[in-house]
Amino acid sequence: MTRLKAFDVIIVGAGISGMYMLYRARRLSLSVRVIEAGGDLGGTWYWNRYPGARCDTDTLEYSYSFDEDLQQEWEWPERYPTQPEILKYLNHVAERFDLRKDIAFSTRVESAIFDEAASRWQVATDDGAELSAQFLVMATGSISAPNIPDIDGMESFQGPIHHTARWPHEGFDLSGLRVGIIGTGSSGVQAIPVIAEQAAHLTVFQRSPQWSVPAHNRPSDPKMVAAIKADYPGFRAANRLQSGAQLSHIPPNDFSAADVSEEERQRILEERWQLGGFPFFGAFNDITVNLESNRATADFVRGKIREIVNDPAIVEMLTPDYTIHCKRPVLDSGYFETYNRDNVLLVDINATPIEAITPRGIRTTDADHDLDLIVLATGFDNMTGALLRIDIRGRDGLPLRDEWAAGPVNYLGLQVSGFPNLFTITGPGSPSVLTNMMVAIEQHVEWVSDCIGFMAANNHASIEATEEAQEAWVAHVNEVANQTLWVSCRNWYQGYNIPGKPRVFMPLPGFPPYVEKCEEVVAKGYEGFVLS
Ligand code: NAP
């Protein structure tokens, strides 16, 4: 028997965006339901429990800014929070604001169909429930739909196969095991040093080498924490002025590599290397648009790999040949050092491709690797995957899957024309993954909730992006992206990691100009939208 429930707002996902959206919707006195596929809240931080999982943005910036008491009271033990620490924080937030009572856990949204006559979204879930809402907010995450590669013989493997984003919640004892890991993105690079320490043997199957830089994690510095907390709102405001995932207290230098001598370049790069983390990529202010700065930075890291790794043949395999920062930057704790260990083998699967998974392990074109456990650190169907895995249909029953068949189109990364009252938090076409996600999420949630509040106050039932605004926005995103070096390699920003995915640059570079545009749209009476 189906149960039909009507709400003002349905939010899909109880991660960082869904939780904040719930908080903001409640403040508008709206009836809200959050639907979450996971068994508990936390989104990314609920699912990604692989060894070594931690955030690579400094804790003081990777936390909610909307409540002064919350940000003053919470203490982060380290520079970068571990997955359990972030989950603890999010649970604290949920308790503090009593969020759980409006969240349905272990419930997956299967379809969301726009009912034009009623101007409402009809949402069906995998437990047979049917719900409806005036507004549908997709807080489904940009990096949440796991990419499971299609490798021959996968079902035949006699041991377990775990994707990093579906790691067993009870943990996994690696001691004495021969482990194989496929993938060397952020997840793989975090997991590899930890697995190498715990397992008997680790074989890394690498498709693309990484320009990884040291995270330099360390215990929180009480003096720095006190200084930031003395003016947390000021710190957050400065943070919102950064375009990339830079730290507001260590902004990028304001010059290009071309502006300084070779000796000075090396000094600056070394200084930034010692700082660790994202600030390294701010040694010069144009690394993502200027090949000279990019090459100077890449050459420096190339030298570091050579210094760290003992075997020249492994150095060769580990050194990327594409522009640095083109793939999403990766931070590590002892990643390159791991390849000096006796129990670690690196396999270049471009030179010797994987042929199959066999009952005993992984077969490449030149060897059989016997394994007890296979780890898939193969990433996600980013930005569009989580949305398109749900059957979303707008006006005239138009499936989002058809509308986005050639790549995602929308206005401001917030709304798709033909899908009234449906909002995407950090959707494609917005800066999202090119920024500190926390900052991007808060800006989107605030924009969407302010919009809903405005509509309620002005008796508007519906908001919808116009075709013209959408077309212009898509052209704008392409134009901006094409001026950067982010289009110069095979990255997931362009869908290269997923076979058959349209090659479209999905996020929008540049957070501050984006925020200005969003504010301008509102100031001009929601320009580019039709309110009715
Ligand atoms: P990812 O960056 O997409 O890396 C996936 C890896 O698997 C890449 O090395 C990829 O190679 C490889 N791969 C994919 N399909 C393959 C196949 N069929 N055969 C062989 N290799 C294959 O995924 P991720 O490491 O999970 O990270 C995804 C994003 O999540 C990151 O970019 C980051 O934004 C976020 N993240 C953040 C943190 C954090 O600390 N905050 C931690 C983890 C993840 P190619 O490079 O050749 O495609």
Mean pLDDT by 10 residues, the chain (532 residues): 79 98 97 98 98 93 96 96 97 98 98 97 97 98 98 98 97 96 98 98 98 96 95 91 66 95 98 94 95 98 98 98 97 98 98 98 98 98 98 98 98 98 98 94 98 97 98 98 98 98 97 97 98 96
Domain ranges of the chain: 5-41+99-145+381-531
Write out the CATH class of domain 5-41+99-145+381-531. Answer: alpha beta
- Per-residue model confidence (pLDDT) at position 238: 87
Query: How many whole angstroms from 279 Cα to the centroid of ligand 1?
Result: 21
Locate the ligand 1 atom nearest the alpha carbon of residue 379 and give its number. Answer: 23
Q: Among candidates 96, 103, 101, 29, which has minimal Cα distance to 64?
A: 96
How many A from CA of 381 to the centre of ligand 1? Answer: 10
Residues 450-468 pLDDT 10s = 999 999 999 999 999 999 9
Write down the pLDDT at residue 239.
Answer: 87
Is the CB–ligand 1 distance for residue 55 below 6 Å? yes
**Hey, which residues does 204 pair with through a beta bridge?**
181, 346
Instruction: Give the pLDDT score at 241.
Output: 85
Q: Ligand 1 within 6 A of 381 CB?
A: no
Q: Is 279 in the pocket of ligand 1 (CB under 6 A)?
A: no
Tokens for 394, please give them.
């707008």
Residue closest by Cα to atom 46 of ligand 1:
208
The amino acid that residue 172 corresponds to is F
Which single residue is written with the structure tokens 């710190």?
Answer: 235
| 8-state DSSP, 338 | H
3-state secondary structure 355-377: EEEECCEEEECCCEEECCEEEEC
Core vs surface per residue 423-445: b (16+ CB within 10 A) or e: bbbbbbbbbbbbbbbbbbbbbbb
For residue 150, give the ligand 1 atom closest to its CA. Answer: 18
Predicted pLDDT of residue 244: 62
How many angstroms does the Cα of residue 332 sit away from the middle of ligand 1?
14
Long-range Cβ contacts of 358-361 (<8 Å, 24+ apart): 358/153, 358/156, 358/157, 359/156, 359/157, 359/158, 360/158, 361/157, 361/178, 361/180
Question: What is the C-alpha separation between 14 and 87, in angstroms, rounded?
Answer: 12
φ, ψ dihedrals at 165, nearest 5°: -90, 5
Q: Is 379 in the pocket of ligand 1 (CB under 6 A)?
A: yes
What pLDDT, on a 0 to 100 scale, did the predictor assign at position 121? 98
Residue 1's pLDDT is what? Answer: 39
Residue 13 is predicted with a pLDDT of 98
**354 CA to centre of ligand 1 in angstroms:** 17
Q: Which atom of ligand 1 is nearest to the CA of 328?
A: 32
277 lines ligand 1 (CB under 6 A): no
Question: Among the atoms of ligand 1, which is closest to the Cα of residue 54?
Answer: 40
How far from 449 is each of 347, 395, 529, CA to CA, in Å? 49, 23, 16
- Looking at the chain, the number of H-run helices and the number of E-run strands are 16, 20
Quick check: CB of 209 below 6 Å from ligand 1? no
CB of 380 shorter than 6 A to ligand 1: yes
- CA-closest residue to ligand 1 atom 13: 378
154, 187, 346: residue to mutate for ligand 1 pocket, most atoms within 8 A of CB:
187
**Ligand 1 pocket, residue 424 CB under 6 Å:** no
Q: What is the pLDDT of residue 246?
A: 55
Ligand 1 neighbourhood includes 497 CB (under 6 angstroms): yes
Indicate the top mutation candidate among 50, 497, 503 to test ligand 1's pocket, ranked by most ligand atoms within 8 A of CB: 497
